[in-house]
Structure formats: C-alpha cells, structure tokens
Amino acid sequence: MDLNELQTIWQQYDNDLKENTRMNKEVLRHILVSKPQKRLTVERTKAVVNLILPLVLVGLVMLPNVEFRASFDFFGGALMFVTAFSVIYYWSVRYYLLIGKVDFSEPLTAIKKNAKSLEKYKIKLKRIGYILMAPGITGIFLMGRFPLFSKESIVPVSLFFLVMTASIYLTFRYSILEQFRKLNSEIAALEQLEK
C-alpha cells in the first residue's frame, strides 16, 4: 500500500464521516423541531377554540335569554358588550393569523422573531381582554336587568372582581410566560444544533 492509496482511503472515510454527521444532524434537527411544532399546534388549537366558543356562547346562551327593551340601560349595555366583544374577537383573529405564519423551515432567526412576536401579541391580547372584560360583563348585567348597586349584588359583583383579579395575576405571572419560555428553550436547542 502506497501513500496515494492511504490518502484516497483516508479521504473516503472522511467523506463518509462528514455525510454521516450531516445525516445525524438532520435527524436531530427533525426531532428537535417536532417539539416546538407540537407546542404550536396546541396553541393554534386553543386559538381556534377561542374563535369559535364566543360565537357559540353568544348565539346559544345570550341571544335567546336577552329580551329587547327600549331603555337606556339596554342600549348602553348592548353598546358596552358589543364593543368589548368586537375588539377582543378582532385581536383573537389577528393572533390566529399570526400563529399561521410561523414556519419551522425558515432560518432560526426568523423562527425566534416569530416566537417573540407571538409572545408579545398573546400578552397584549390577554391584557386587552382583561381590560375589556369588566365593561363587557357590565353590559351583560345592564341588558339582563341585573341590579349592580344593591345589597343583593354586592357579593356576586365582589366575587366576580376577586376571581378576575386572581385570574389576571396567575395568567400574567405564570401561564403565558411559561408557555413561551418552553418554546424559546426548544428553539435555543435548535440554535445550538446549527452552530
């Protein structure tokens, strides 16, 4: 065996090793991409439910149970509810469309940018939803002739605001940030693979 044959064999082994490493990286990338894709599919499913459920609840629960009255309370309540419902629904549709734009075949910087924009948008959507929840529910109370300022309504209204405050705290403190922290860590694992 001369030196040229050894060099040829060495180069062949080197090429085989490079090809094997490339294939292993590709398989690992596919495995690492599947986790964020599943997480995004769950998020997309939640967004679809958030688009369908309000329409079903308004159509099946609220509309049949509200009687039309020509009074200031009814029209004021309807205006408050429809405004809050429309704004929240509009932002929910935009969030769903934003989720649809995330593509894991793009470069990692684009994926990270899309994940950050999703996180910011979801926080903004929740914030707007919680801000408009009080006027929306007040509008429902006004349309349904629920006495807001009476002795009987003190307990239900105070419980409503207590539950709403706890929900706001838990959502912003733990829920949203934890979901996107996991997604960001999975994307960081992908980034480490590409280095």
Please say if the pLDDT value at position 194 is more than 70. Answer: no
pLDDT of residue 89: 93
Identity of the amino acid at 52:
I
Closest by CA to 67, choosing from 147, 146, 143, is: 143
DSSP secondary-structure letter at 6?
H
> If you count them, how many residues does the chain have?
195
- Rounded Cα gap, residues 94 and 110, in angstroms: 19
pLDDT band at 33 (very low <50, low <70, confident <90, very high): low
Number of Cβ within 10 Å of residue 68's Cβ equals 9
Number of Cβ within 10 Å of residue 34's Cβ equals 12
C-alpha distances (whole Å) from 91 to each of 53, 88, 125, 154 are 15, 5, 6, 32
**pLDDT > 90 in the chain, percent:** 10
C-alpha distances (whole Å) from 95 to each of 90, 142, 174 are 9, 30, 20
pLDDT of residue 87: 93
- Rounded Cα gap, residues 190 and 195, in angstroms: 9
Cα atoms found within 13 Å of the Cα of residue 58, Cβ hemisphere only: 16
For residue range 45-100, what is the model confidence (pLDDT) as tens digits? 988 998 998 888 888 877 777 788 888 888 888 899 999 999 999 999 999 998 88
* Of 10-14, 73-77, 127-131, 185-189, the least confident: 185-189
DSSP secondary-structure letter at 71?
S
Residue 89 or 2, more confident: 89
Please say if the pLDDT value at position 37 is more than 80. Answer: no
Whole-model pTM?
A: 0.69
Residue 193 or 88, more confident: 88
* CA 15 distance to own-chain centroid: 45
For residue range 144-182, what is the model confidence (pLDDT) as tens digits? 877 777 777 788 778 888 888 888 787 777 776 676 677
pLDDT of residue 1: 63
Angle at 133 between CA 127 and CA 135, to 5 degrees: 125
Instruction: Tell me the pLDDT of the chain averaged across its residues.
Output: 81
Q: Following CA atoms 140, 142, 147, 153 in sequence, which dihedral angle do they give, to the nearest 10 degrees?
A: 30
